[in-house]
Chain A
């Protein structure tokens, strides 16, 4: 069965510092992978997605993620965090031929001045 694990419930980083949010998935074939961001009081917005090809994908707002098949990971990174990046981040996996998307439990990011 597919599953997504985000090991960190919350993370605090200083403004201007680098960020890495972890995501591990379980899936038998090459998955479709997504990162979404949720600002307070809003729905989820797509940051980036991976289907195939280059294992480093670029997204909106300066985010990138790297797919590592050997580690079943799809970690999200940003070189320099801004206070506006404070939000909750969800990793998700979609299945070939499937209608569902499986979401991780989310990681809440706090940014300190």
Chain B
């Protein structure tokens, strides 16, 4: 039972380069999320997808784009990487339901550690 799988696990980029972080879940969840984690700041929501076909901005969307490719996959793209985007990125999913599913826990991947030089 894989749960939420993120690739790659580690990546080093140069300023200005682009890359896509991949996320896939095998739990048939409706909602998917991208967070970044920085020391002392907890988890900050970048984008989320409440259901297949929809995406919405979170707390810190600038510099990122997302694609909900299908129900399983939700990718995060950095078009022109900046040193301020050095962080650990987590993808999460939740079963979701009509009305949001706020009572449901999120399931997390193991993260992508991204360094931008």
Contacts and interface: CB of A to CB of B under 8 A. Distances in A.
> At the interface, is chain B mostly helix, strand, loop or mixed?
loop
Contacts of B58: 100
Nearest to B4: A43
A83 to B, nearest CB: 22
Size class of the contact patch on chain A: 20 to 34
Interface residues of B, number: 27
B102 A43 contact: no
Given A104-B42, A105-B41, A44 B96 contact: no
B105 A46 contact: yes
Interface in B77-98: 90, 92, 96
B53 interface: no
Top 7 closest pairs, chain A to chain B, by CB: A43-B108, A94-B102, A105-B42, A103-B43, A32-B103, A46-B105, A44-B108
Interface of B: 4, 31, 40-43, 45, 48, 50, 56, 58, 90, 92, 96, 99-111
